[in-house]
Amino acid sequence: MTREWPRNRGWKPLQQNYVNSSSRLLLAKDDVKKYVLPLMDEERCATCQSREGLRVKIWDLDTFSEHELSLKQWKTRSFLLTSNWSMEFVKRRNLQEGDCIGLLWDTQHLRFFFQKFNTQS
């Protein structure tokens, strides 16, 4: 069974810093703590806090393709998807500032679902 993040918090309009060369996407800390971490064992949760982060799969619902990024927690306690965010999503999907994306945690396969909801005109 898939557990969806609340509609108003699972959809994220992209800011300039998510589509520039920073190669990371900031996730809502409370959502990760509520919907993702409780479904992981202690070792995986600890790996999220390591320098490399935890490698997680992301299924792109629009292109039916699977990608892998690192989920990590910064010292500020915020969570990020890093390690090729720019190449795997920003460039490949031509993401622009203002585009709205959605992330959904797939509890059955322990991966994220990704979807782009709109395209800039």
Q: Is the pLDDT of residue 5 over 80?
A: no
Q: Is the pLDDT of residue 2 over 90?
A: no
Provide the pLDDT for residue 10: 61
Q: Which residue ranges make up each domain of the chain?
A: 7-116
Q: Is the pLDDT of residue 118 over 90?
A: no
Measure the CA–CA gap between 55 and 92, rounded to whole angstroms. Answer: 19
**Alpha-carbon distances, residue 63 vs 58, 86, 108 (angstroms):** 12, 17, 20
Nearest to 81 by CA among 109, 103, 110: 103
Provide the pLDDT for residue 89: 93
Q: What is the pLDDT of residues 55-107, one digit of tens each?
A: 999 999 999 999 999 999 988 888 999 988 999 999 999 999 989 998 888 88
| Stated pTM of the model | 0.82
Q: Is the pLDDT of residue 6 over 60?
A: no
- How long a stretch of residues is the chain? 121
Q: What is the pLDDT of residues 9-35, one digit of tens each?
A: 567 788 888 888 778 999 888 888 988
Lowest mean pLDDT, pick from 4-8, 27-31, 33-37, 116-120? 4-8
The domain over range 7-116 is classified in CATH as 3.50.30.20: no
